[in-house]
């Protein structure tokens, strides 16, 4: 019984510490990850994947812009 109370007290203390310092630790970890990511070579697969995602987003924006453009007679305007 005594061990259970001690374990429960330790768990409460750990959860309280994580709740207090968790966001700051997460922010530090994210900054460290971003720094490591920046130092990776340009042809590193995760970096290429992120670049590809950004290109796809830009293409989607352009497509949506073209689709929301002026319409003629119920049909889409000619796309150049």
pLDDT digits (tens, 9 = 90+) for 24-51: 999 999 999 889 888 888 888 888 888 8
Compute φ and ψ for 55, nearest 5 degrees. -65, -40
Tell me the average pLDDT across 55-66.
Answer: 94
pLDDT band at 57 (very low <50, low <70, confident <90, very high): very high
What's the pLDDT at 46? 84
Would you state the pLDDT for residue 32?
Answer: 94
Residue 74 has pLDDT above 80, yes or no: no
Show Cβ contacts of residue 77 under 8 Å, excluding neighbours closer than 6 positions.
69, 70, 71
pLDDT for position 75: 57
Tokens representing 19 are 């709740």
Residue 72 bridge partners (DSSP): 75
Summary mean pLDDT of the chain: 86
Residue spans of the domains in the chain: they are 1-39, 42-80
């Amino acid at each position: 019984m005594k061990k259970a109370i001690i374990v429960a007290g330790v768990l409460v203390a750990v959860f309280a510490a994580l709740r207090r310092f968790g966001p700051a630790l997460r922010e530090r970890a994210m900054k460290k990850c971003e720094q490591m990511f920046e130092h990776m070579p340009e042809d590193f697969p995760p970096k290429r994947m992120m670049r590809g995602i950004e290109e796809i987003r830009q293409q989607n924006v352009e497509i949506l812009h073209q689709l929301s453009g002026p319409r003629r007679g119920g049909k889409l305007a000619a796309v150049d």
